[in-house]
Structure formats: structure tokens, C-alpha cells
Amino acid sequence: MEKCKFHLVAYGPILKEATTQDEHISARDMTAAIEKKLADALKESDYEVLNRMNCRKKLDVNLWAKVREAFAVNFPRITRI
């Protein structure tokens, strides 16, 4: 029998709640781009990431900087890119 341990870190909300379908799609795409960048940055910093993110949506670099800073509290090796 194996024992596993997981540490969950969450941050948000990062965007206001969508009130229209167009806002929802925009927020979904921005969130997907940030999730991919976060997963890539964690991997590049030698953290183990369980899932693979695929996204080609445009990254909001200002929003990414805020998210990266928030996660760096718990993941200090995160790449500063």
C-alpha cells in the first residue's frame, strides 16, 4: 500500500465574475493561459506538476505577474519569467 500526500494551493479570484457569455469565454481563455504558464513555470523550477496544460490563448502578462507573485509565497523556486 502506498501513501500519498498532496499540498493544495489556490489563489483567487483573479477576475471579476462574468455576466455575459462573451465575458465568460474571455475569462475562461485568460484563466487557461495563466494555468498553462503557472504549470510551465513550476516545472521549470523543478516542482512536480501532475497534469499537462495545453493552451494557445494570449497570456495577460500583468495578470500573470500577480499570480506568479502569489504562488511564489508557497513555491519560492518558481521561475521569475
Which triple of cell numbers denotes residue 49? 506538476
- pLDDT per residue as tens digits for the range 14-45: 999 999 999 999 999 999 999 999 999 999 99
Predicted local confidence at residue 5, as pLDDT: 84
* 49 Cβ contact partners less than 8 Å away, ≥ 6 residues apart: 39, 42, 43
DSSP 76: T
What whole-number distance in Å separates Cα of residue 73 and Cα of residue 11?
11
Least confident of 13-22, 34-43, 47-56, 66-75: 47-56
64's grid cell: 500573470
